Amino acid sequence: MRPLPTPSRAALLALASLCLAISTPLRAEEKLMDRLITVSATGYAYAEPDRARLETGVEAEADTAEKALAANTELMAKVIAGLKEAGVDAKDIQTSNISVAPRYTNPKDNAPAVIDGYRVSNLVTIVARDLRSLGALLDKLVSLGVNQVHGLTFEVSKAETLKDEARKEAVANARRRAELLAAAAGAEVGEVVQIAEDVGFAGGPRPMAMRAAKAESVPIEAGTETLEARVTVTWKLK
């Protein structure tokens, strides 16, 4: 009886490659057997605003751009000086927009519009740190010659710290929903795999019990700010 031939080196390499090709998909399939559950949830925290931002300024017109700019500069200098005299800190006054635009006549009989002057606008953003005096500040602005008001927004100065409570609530809500869904599927929630916060998500203010800022003149309603946090959590299932 003749002895069996010894396998060649090429045959052994081919056999090893075949075994590797078979075992790799098996390991990948085994990894896919990990069961996961991912849930997104939102939490809320509430706080009273403690400061406000107001964009305001002056607009002036004249037959030339130079005259319009000079008139606007005189008016704005008076406004800024008056604000500082009224106790507004220089760091709370910031120029937000300056524009110079032509003014046109109203054409008739299909005639082309003609430039008959220029309009200059200068706006500043004011941070009011005492909401109780916000109404008086508005009165002061009018007395200083302000003729442009483009928005009043309220802020919570420690919003990021106060938002931590909303983050905790968001994670708790996600956990509760994950346990509910897992139980309905006959499973249990295991260890956390990943937690991500949607930092680009910004919830707007929600109306609650409105409280008037006790201004001396113009009535101002600061309300309550709603701080929102949204998270996405992934758990393993047992």
Q: Tens digits of per-residue pLDDT, 185-220?
A: 999 999 999 999 998 655 444 333 333 333 345 677
DSSP letters spanning 98-154: EEEEEEE----TTPPP-EEEEEEEEEEEEEES-GGGHHHHHHHHHHTT--EEEEEEE
Residue ranges of the chain assigned to CATH 3.30.110.170: 34-48+159-237
Structural Rg of the chain based on CA atoms: 34
Q: Does pTM surpass 0.75?
A: no
Q: What is the pLDDT of residue 10?
A: 54
Closest CA to 216 of 135, 154, 155: 135
Distance (Å, whole) CA 135 – CA 127:
13
The CATH code belonging to domain 34-48+159-237 is 3.30.110.170
Domain over 51-155 is classified CATH 3.30.420.40: no
Q: CATH 3.30.70.2970 spans which residues of the chain?
A: 51-155
Mean pLDDT of the chain: 83
d(CA 148, CA 139): 13
pLDDT digits (tens, 9 = 90+) for 35-90: 999 999 999 999 999 999 999 999 999 999 999 999 999 999 999 999 999 999 99
| The pLDDT of residue 218 | 66
